[in-house]
Amino acid sequence: MAELRAMYLALGIILSDNPADQIEGMIWAVLFIGIGFAVYFLPSIVAWNKGDRWSVVAINFFLGWTLIGWVIALAWGLKQDKSQIIVQTPAPINALPVLCPGCRKYSQGGSNFCSQCGMKWALR
């Protein structure tokens, strides 16, 4: 019933002769329009910090009025942004130089073979 009253009051801008109703109706109308804008541009809002921001905004703006365009824009906006995925390279197994059991020389830590004699070894 609150919604019905709000809609009635929003219409009250036009329908009512009572200035107080007209003011309350205007407030409700502004609220409705504001909430309507927020819901309509929700896909753009969620996509705002993503790389595809302007593509989502374009679909949202031009096709959002079709429900399917709005859903596509929202799905796109919620999609994980690939360019923001942080790829973590594994830390070096051993940063210390490795002593080759074959030639008794040191090689760079973390390597699987001797840089001096080419001997392969298994790292612990």
Going by C-beta distance under 8 Å and a sequence separation of 6 or more, which residues neighbour residue 103? 114, 116, 117, 119
Interacting positions 32-71 with Zn ion (CB under 5 A) = none
- Residue 43 CB, nearest approach to Zn ion (Å): 60
Task: Determine how many CB atoms are found less than 10 A away from the CB of residue 7.
Answer: 14
| Minimum separation from the CB atom of position 109 to Zn ion (A) | 14
Q: How far is the CB of 122 from Zn ion (least distance, A)?
A: 14
Q: Closest CB to Zn ion among 48 and 113? A: 113
Residue with Cβ nearer Zn ion (51 or 102): 102
By beta-carbon proximity to Zn ion, the closer residue of 69 and 110 is 110
Spell out, one character per residue from 79 to 108, where the chain touches Zn ion: x when CB under 5 A holds, - when not: ---------------------x-xx-----
Sign of CA dihedral 63, 66, 68, 72: positive
Q: How far is the CB of 121 from Zn ion (least distance, A)?
A: 9
The nearer residue to Zn ion, 34 or 118, going by C-beta atoms, is 118
Orientation of helix 2-15 relative to helix 19-40, angle to 10°: 120
Binding site residues, Zn ion, CB under 5 A: 100, 102-103, 114, 116-117, 119
